[in-house]
Amino acid sequence: MVPRPKFNAFVPALLVALIAFPTLGGILRLAQMSGASINFLPESDRILAAASTIFVLHIASAGFYGIAGAFQFSDGIRRRWLGWHHRMGIVVAAAGLLVAMTGLWLTLFFPQASNDNALLQAIRAIVSSTMGMFIVFGIVDVMRRNISRHRAWMMRGYALGVGAGTQVLLLGPWTFLFAEPEITTRAILMGSAWAINLAIAEWFIYRKRVVRMSRGLAGAGK
């Protein structure tokens, strides 16, 4: 029999650790936008000059979605507090949709940074749109009581939603080893982070599907 994937207490901890740095960076950026003197953040006249409500909503919803959403993937929490899982799931899904919609808005209408290019903007637009679509599919499936498909769509949406954490893991070592990446390389690295997250999510989804099939075959053979 294929072993059951172990989604335990370490899963939320690992996911929270993944998004901790970009979440902290977002909080500090909001504090800087509100007037706090924070000089160690990278200069971003683009952000400070266009401090819109949409930008604030994007940072706040992304932080909440990353942290609260991490606990939705704990089998232990889901089994022990199913009601909490359902109620929090509604809030997390709403936050995820807000992340996707504000991300798309910022891509299409926010001033473009000097180290962004058309490739990165296209990737961001695709990721934001796809993330929102995945979450909507997940909502539709849970309303249809198709829980396995619901979990798969939500996992895919979350994987895209926390891409900033993986981008830190890629861009940080690259900058340390090779200096600041040029514009196209930066776009490729950032796009690769979303692709890596989605590939990992698909692997976990496949593992769960194989486990369900093996259990079904084992049950049929009794």
Structure confidence by residue, pLDDT tens digits, 68-122: 999 998 888 888 888 999 999 999 999 999 999 999 999 998 877 778 899 999 9
Domain extent for 209: 10-220
Please state, in angstroms and rounded to a whole number, the distance separating the CA atoms of residues 151 and 147.
6
* Residue 2 located in a structural domain: no
**C-alpha closest to that of 154 among 86, 73, 84:** 73
Largest distance between two CA atoms of the chain = 68
Please give the single-letter amino acid code of residue 1.
M
How far is the C-alpha of 153 from the C-alpha of 205, rounded, in Å? 9
Let me know if residue 5 belongs to a domain. no
Number of domains in the chain: 1
Instruction: Report which residue type is found at 67.
Output: I
**Considering only 2-6, 99-103, 167-171, 192-196, which range has the smallest mean pLDDT?**
2-6
